[in-house]
Amino acid sequence: MNERQLAEDILAIVLENAVKHEAQKVRTISVLVGELSDIKMSVLTQAFVELAANTLAAHAELDITYIPAVVYCHECKKRMTVEPSKFICSVCGSTRLEILTGDSLQIEDIEFD
Ligand SMILES: [Zn+2]
12-63 pLDDT tens trace: 999 999 999 999 999 999 999 999 998 999 999 999 999 999 999 999 999 9
Kindly give the distance from the C-alpha atom of residue 100 to the centroid of ligand 1, in angstroms, as a whole number. Answer: 14
90-101 per-position pLDDT tens digit: 999 999 999 999
Kindly give the distance from the C-alpha atom of residue 79 to the centroid of ligand 1, in angstroms, as a whole number. Answer: 8
Kindly give the distance from the C-alpha atom of residue 87 to the centroid of ligand 1, in angstroms, as a whole number. Answer: 11
Q: Tell me the domain boundaries of the chain.
A: 3-112
Q: Which residues, at least 6 apart from 14, have a Cβ–Cβ distance to it below 8 Å?
A: 26, 29, 57, 60, 107, 110
Kindly give the distance from the C-alpha atom of residue 32 to the centroid of ligand 1, in angstroms, as a whole number. Answer: 26
CATH for the stretch 3-112: 3.30.2320.80
> Are the C-beta atoms of 48 and 11 separated by less than 8 Å?
yes
Kindly give the distance from the C-alpha atom of residue 1 to the centroid of ligand 1, in angstroms, as a whole number. Answer: 29
Predicted structure pTM score: 0.84
